[in-house]
Structure 1
């Protein structure tokens, strides 16, 4: 698509506008969504070992990069936002190698080192990337045979453009029961849209909806096999505005690179 470079430029500009706010909001410990939904399943699927060489794609302010380093991994962390990388370096430059790299630039990605990484990870970022095929193609060369790539995205079955979150209270045999549901009328068509990830962020950022089949087929094309996946939800005691208890707000994939 001829518009990909322009979309990437717009997307990067949006994240530059949001970078300071995002770093201040996430801080050292990130938010409940990352702590309770993303991090536990990602760590489980990634199977981190001491001295693993790991690439963190679209690292943001480096929250998860620091967690990987705590677990004994050697981490290279990349992001296309200059401000994000600067902010991440201020927090942990001495233990992590941060680089400003555009994940949509195949040649630039290869400079990170072919056959270098035991594993790669990306938390809640691929749905923000305009064109993911160059990244997947590059990872097929950057990751060692039988290495894995674990990534999370908003769940494309339940968080699609225009989806309506519905909360209803009904009487059931003398009891009042509150239910939460999602109404949607589109899923299979890929599309771009603007969204707010955190209330108060300075500018809406671009997101790119893709069905599950797109990811599975694209990774298969470049020599990866789907090894596992997770669809974590909040626990019953969660007190969110919309309680993602029976409906997963995110999905986490683990793809393994086939040998050869």
Structure 2
């Protein structure tokens, strides 16, 4: 069956934006910063991967063994090892970055259950073939310019009733350069300040702040309503949600430490959504 043509995502209201157009053949995702990202995440994942992101993903996947898994925007394959430990039947990782796919193959390519393909997750692809029991997309929803294209591919890749687990930066509280921690000395509370939320925007992120390397990525902030609309536009229905909080705690004492502990328990860092493909 040939891939369906892509419908551009046009969010309603004044908060929409038009992402910069990039030819599919030229889009290599995080390839320019692949070395930095691979060093940051590695095989086992960053501190947040190990303690927050991966445990939540595996919980919501609820693997029984033998499943086929589609990992969209897989990067260097940080999810592969825990999935294999869960005795999955088949895994396909898809990412636009040739360098990250190369790193993934070097770590996991010898396992016959595992395969990788270099492809833009937002563009039609034969890899989205409707044969997968479940799909994942970890920390990448905010990295793609056309979310509807990616969610449509995920839907196309799943069997009817298949599930997808999405984990991403919390769109209400973690907006680069638009959200900050603050300290109220009078009330002795740590608070979260938001400079904007309702306006979708592209935000340039430097991978080595202050070092002048010139390496940058783009963070696509979208309000939560836009993301939910994009997910539901092509056959996916959200059935579960979890807000994920930091595991880190201050090692100091006094009023500030107490306030910091309370703040990290009140303001989530990530969001996990679970959706199923409607029959």
Q: TM-score, normalised by structure 2?
A: 0.80
CA distance in 1, matches of 2:138, 2:251: 23
Give the secondary structure class of the aligned counterpart of 1:44: helix
Give the secondary structure class of the aligned counterpart of 1:30: coil
Pair 1:101 & 2:116 matched: no
Match of 1:86 in 2: 102
Pair 1:192 & 2:202 matched: yes
Number of matched pairs: 250
Give the secondary structure class of the aligned counterpart of 1:18: helix
Point out where structure 1 has 5 or more consecutive residues left out of the alignment: none
Pair 1:225 & 2:230 matched: no
The offset of 1:239, in angstroms, is: 5.8
Kept in 2: contact 1:8–1:130 (CA 8 A): no
How well do the aligned residues superpose, as a CA RMSD in angstroms? 2.8
CA distance in 2, matches of 1:25, 1:3: 27
Residues 16-37 of structure 1 show CA distances to partners (whole Å, capped at 9, x for unaligned) of 2211122122222111111122
Residues 153-209 of structure 1 show CA distances to partners (whole Å, capped at 9, x for unaligned) of 11110122532422326367xxxx4x3322113222211111246767951201101
Residues 96-134 of structure 1 show CA distances to partners (whole Å, capped at 9, x for unaligned) of 10111110112x2xx115220000001100100111111
CA distance in 1, matches of 2:146, 2:58: 26
Give the secondary structure class of the aligned counterpart of 1:84: helix
Residues 222-241 of structure 1 show CA distances to partners (whole Å, capped at 9, x for unaligned) of 12211101111124635699
Q: Pick from 69, 77, 98: which aligns with 2:84?
A: 69
Pair 1:125 & 2:145 matched: no
Kept in 2: contact 1:18–1:201 (CA 8 A): no
Kept in 2: contact 1:62–1:77 (CA 8 A): yes
Pair 1:31 & 2:46 matched: yes
Residues 24-63 of structure 1 show CA distances to partners (whole Å, capped at 9, x for unaligned) of 2222211111112211111111112211000001111111
Q: TM-score, normalised by structure 1?
A: 0.85
Give the secondary structure class of the aligned counterpart of 1:244: helix
Kept in 2: contact 1:151–1:253 (CA 8 A): yes
